[in-house]
């Protein structure tokens, strides 16, 4: 079941209606993220021709979905927001898009050549991200490619915001953040945390990239120090 605003226990950053309310405003704020464009091209360079890519949290389809299709690949995209799914389909009519929660999305045993989870993990808590790593492994074949866009905890300076790292020092939880004129909280892994999480779940990291994206002032967003990862599946778990 996708998150819904009907339950007051669901935080805003996990609420499908919240993302639906953003619509074109989100695209205006984030659709021209050149760091994301650059990293998407890097991730695509690891793929052979005519792959089938799953975009998890596809948003409006710009720029990731469009870049995937322009590179000659087939795209399936999922998002918890029906508005975002409609915008993706409008941007890329040849794609296949579905309203779905990444935490419960089922593929009926189908595997994709690549999985992109680009700047869409911010809605999740630590335990959900740990479970997602297992799902990435299940969704990919041997040597399949995983592309992640996130923020490394240390780049967000949680101590300056009154947030301590977990005892294992791999994650900081509940970091306050300003997003589209709304106050939300984030659970963020450190770089070491991402390395350990991915290796433990059958991946090797093959490339990383950092980029500071500053949305337009009228978007009401904090600057986002993005941390991008390309990983390859090396074993089933």
**Domain spans, the chain:** 12-233
Quote the pTM value. 0.90
DSSP 140: S
Q: In the prediction, which pLDDT does 32 show?
A: 80
Instruction: Tell me the mean pLDDT in the region 194-203.
Output: 98
C-alpha span between 43 and 106 (Å, rounded): 24
Tell me the percentage of the chain whose pLDDT exceeds 90: 80
DSSP-assigned beta bridge partners for residue 211: 226
CATH homologous superfamily, domain 12-233: Vaccinia Virus protein VP39 (3.40.50.150)
Instruction: Tell me the mean pLDDT in the region 23-41.
Output: 83
C-alpha span between 41 and 76 (Å, rounded): 18
The pLDDT of residue 38 is above 90: yes
Residue-wise pLDDT tens digits, 76-118: 999 999 999 999 999 999 999 999 999 999 998 899 999 999 9
Q: Which residue has the higher pLDDT, 31 or 120?
A: 120
- Copy the structure tokens of residue 173: 């939880």
Mean pLDDT of the chain: 91
- Copy the structure tokens of residue 18: 């919240």
The pLDDT of residue 235 is above 60: yes
HSE at residue 27, side-chain half, CA atoms within 13 A, is: 20
Instruction: Tell me the mean pLDDT in the region 15-24.
Output: 66
The pLDDT of residue 1 is above 60: no
C-alpha span between 117 and 110 (Å, rounded): 17
């Amino acid at each position: 079941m996708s998150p819904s605003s009907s339950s007051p226990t669901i935080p805003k950053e996990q609420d499908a209606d919240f993302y639906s309310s953003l619509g074109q405003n989100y695209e205006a704020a984030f659709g021209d993220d050149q760091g994301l464009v650059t990293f998407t091209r890097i991730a695509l360079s690891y793929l052979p021709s005519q792959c089938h890519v799953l975009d998890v949290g596809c948003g409006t389809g710009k720029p990731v979905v469009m870049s995937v299709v322009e590179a000659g690949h087939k795209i399936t995209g999922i998002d918890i927001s029906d508005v975002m799914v409609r915008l993706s389909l409008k941007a890329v009519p040849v794609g296949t898009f579905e309203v779905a929660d990444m935490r419960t999305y089922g593929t009926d045993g189908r595997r994709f050549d690549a999985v992109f989870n680009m700047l869409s993990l911010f809605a999740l808590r630590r335990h959900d991200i740990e479970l997602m790593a297992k799902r990435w492994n299940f969704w990919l074949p041997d040597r399949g490619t995983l592309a992640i866009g996130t923020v490394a905890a240390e780049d967000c300076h949680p101590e300056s915001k009154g947030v301590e790292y977990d005892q294992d020092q791999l994650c900081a939880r509940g970091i306050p953040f300003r997003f589209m004129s709304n106050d939300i909280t984030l659970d963020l892994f450190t770089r070491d945390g991402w390395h350990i999480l991915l290796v433990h779940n059958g991946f090797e990291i093959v490339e990383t990239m950092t980029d500071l994206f500053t949305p337009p002032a009228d978007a009401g967003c904090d600057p986002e120090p993005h941390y991008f990862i390309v990983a390859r599946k090396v074993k089933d778990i």
